[in-house]
Structure 1
Amino acid sequence: MNFLQRISLSGVLLLMSFPAFAQTSSQEEPSQKEIQDTVRAEQYFADEINFTINPHGVKSVLEGKNQNITLVDVRAAKNYAEGHVPSAINLPFDKFSRFEGTEKEFPELRKDGFNYVYCYELGCNLATKAARKLASLGYPVKEMKGGFNAWKDHNYPIEK
């Protein structure tokens, strides 16, 4: 074996000693846990489709003058006052997190139609938390993906 062949063979053996480069049976066949995770992932994405709405969808609903929706802005009152989606009510998350589901607390929320919630931006999870809380209390709900920033990015009308 010449010098170059020995170096090549040494390199191959070295690479094979690293787990990232070695083929293992777990890379060839998914484990039962991985298969179960794909089932959970499928359900998650189906739920995301069913329980989210994009800004365009909200705008279409508003243009249709649908009376069976309440738009809920969970941002701080200061941010709401600076601008919000037309007809949205302000229910700041700090107040909302204590909501127990009585109609007296927030009479604008609907059980006979949808409540669309939004917060600041795509990375904000306040609307997700609010939507989860509403759903747990029996309120039909969807989350507007992208929040108020996505609404503004589309140059849709803003109310003050």
Structure 2
Amino acid sequence: MTRTLAVPAPAPEAATTYFGAELAFEVDPDDLVRDLEAGHTDGYVVVETRAPEAFAQARIPGAINLPYRDMTPDSTAHLDRDLVYVCYCESINCNAATKGALKLAQLGFRVKRLSGGITAWIAAGYPVEGSVPTATAGIRCAC
């Protein structure tokens, strides 16, 4: 038997449930940039969950900075609970977006996570604001 099929693929119903749930929790950079470029920004807010220094260095245009370490009922009181908060961080090697999404969900907000973080965003050539908007050099976790 091949390694690829050593564990059988799930039934279509199970795959539908699993992959549907995965897409409910994440958005990829391509879908987000297409929405932003088309002006489809109603219903969600992009949230940088790393430290303010990281936000100043490179950020997705229109994103707000809400470091996961600072998320409390008081620090999030001004946020609209009818919106979805799309959290991102440095990369798949950083879990600040996951920690931020978890904290926001625990505070009663609807959330998604951006796959790949700001490094995937930059690697794809998408627009970035900040002091280092054109290179991934120096982009780090900073959470």
> What TM-score do the two structures reach when normalised by structure 2?
0.71
Query: For 1:131, which of 88, 95, 101 is the aligned residue?
Result: 101
How many Å separate the matches in 2 of 1:80 and 1:136? 23
* Larger CA Rg, structure 1 vs 2: 1
Q: What is the aligned-residue identity percentage?
A: 36
How many Å separate the matches in 1 of 2:126 and 2:47? 17
Higher relative contact order (CA 8 A, sep 6+): 2
Give the structure with the larger helix fraction.
Answer: 1
AA at the equivalent of 1:80: F
**Worse overlay, 114-123 or 41-50:** 41-50
Give the alignment's Cα RMSD to 1 decimal.
2.3
Matches within 5 A, 1:53-132: 53-65=27-39, 66-96=41-71, 99-100=72-73, 105-106=75-76, 109-132=79-102
How many Å separate the matches in 2 of 1:130 and 1:56? 21
Q: Give how far 1:61 is off.
A: 2.0
Unaligned runs of 5+ in 2: 1-13, 131-143
How many residue pairs align between the two structures? Answer: 118
Unaligned runs of 5+ in 1: 1-38
Q: Give how far 1:122 is off.
A: 1.0
> What TM-score do the two structures reach when normalised by structure 1?
0.64
Moved over 2 A (4+): 41-47, 104-110
